[in-house]
Structure 1
Amino acid sequence: MNLIDGSTWSDKFDKGSLRAILAEHVWEHLTYEEGVKAAKLCYQYLKPSGYIRCAVPDGFFPDEEYQNIVKVGGPGSFDHPAASHRIVHNYRTLTSMFETAGFEVNLIEYCDEDGNFHAHDWDGKNGVIFRSKKFDPRNQGDKLAFPSLIVDAIKR
């Protein structure tokens, strides 16, 4: 499904018909402007109080190897540039993007500007994010290896 093509949405769904949308490591493949456009389309198709659970690589995670993996232009295929990362979000940019589209945003897991990791209690029954502190076996114990910035963007 093309997140920024309104016809792919209208071919599959009625406006106001969805309770939840799960997007794990999708929005980093869109520019900021495309991300806003996609969020606005999602908003149209969600029911009131519906939400997007969105996870992206975290631009504030203080690990050089991780940042090299998630940087703009990679990973992905040179044959398919759209498959590579087009933005590295932090909690401020991702929140701003969804708020611009009309959502209220709740931070779930994220790093702040100083690289400190924050996690709020969340339930996987509302959408499992594999690349998370909660579910990824690489992130168990005291060491984070591959966290995500995770938000719930709620339609009000």
Structure 2
Amino acid sequence: MVLQQEEIKIVVGAGEYNNNPGWIHTQEKEIDLLDELSWRNRFEIKSITAILAEHVWEHLTYEEGIRAAQICFEFLKPSGYIRCAVPDGFFPDEAYQNVVKVGGPGPKDHPAASHKIVHNYKTLTEMFEAVGFQVELLEYHDEHGNFQYKNWNGKDGVIFRSQKYDPRNQGNKLAAPSLIIDAIKVE
């Protein structure tokens, strides 16, 4: 059944979290970022207002990430967006980097669950821009390990693993940050 409604907002790879009430929460078996048919079975082309992907894109290679972005671009309305959060490759913390490294967390019996890439703001931006998105950086570390932050609104998609919402990141020290972007479809 193809969904038709005025505003469609989906969370891909939602896991057990429901940080975005009113959004459609999906798992990989329902919407596969790399399988256009799984999208066509549920949505019309240019019908989606927003896609939220919290700690999903690091489970794709760079090339798979571009392919997933292309599919999302096709299904987003003009001015629609992807709010994407991934582990931050420029966060200057050795323990954090050890956890998020390529081949990092994920069950051994499900290799797709492990990380295939560790993005920094440059690689993630380049990947989405290659498809035609305009990228706005929301939270990230620069090459010098300095945290950069642009005020963003949770009503446009809550990223739990963020400076803004994760209780581990309150105060003056970040413990578990994400690199967060909005990739906006400009046509």
Q: CA deviation at 1:77?
A: 1.2
Q: CA deviation at 1:91?
A: 0.1
- Alpha-carbon RMSD: 0.4
1:124 aligned residue: 154
More relative contact order in 1 or in 2 (CA 8 Å, sep 6+)? 1
Structure 2 residue 174 is the aligned partner of structure 1 residue 141: no
Encode CA deviations 1:87-121: one digit per residue, 9 max, x unaligned: 00000000000001110000000000000000001
Number of positions where the alignment pairs a residue of Structure 1 with one of Structure 2? 156
Distance 1:115 1:154 in 2: 26
SS at match of 1:42: helix
Unpaired runs of 5+ in structure 1?
Answer: none
1:8 aligned residue: 38
Structure 2 residue 56 is the aligned partner of structure 1 residue 26: yes
2:140 aligned residue: 110
TM-score (norm 2): 0.83
SS at match of 2:41: helix
Structure 2 residue 131 is the aligned partner of structure 1 residue 101: yes
Q: CA deviation at 1:34?
A: 0.2
Distance 1:54 1:117 in 2: 17
Identity %: 70
> Which of 66, 85, 90 is the aligned partner of 2:120?
90
Q: CA deviation at 1:154?
A: 0.1
Distance 1:60 1:42 in 2: 26
Alignment of 1:53-92 (within 5 A): 53-92=83-122
Distance 1:102 1:18 in 2: 16
Distance 2:67 2:178 in 1: 22
- The structure where helix makes up a greater share of residues is 1
* Paired amino acid for 1:99: E
* Paired amino acid for 1:37: R
Q: CA deviation at 1:65?
A: 0.3
2:82 aligned residue: 52
Distance 1:128 1:53 in 2: 9
Unpaired runs of 5+ in structure 2?
Answer: 1-30
Distance 1:46 1:79 in 2: 34
Q: CA deviation at 1:3?
A: 0.3
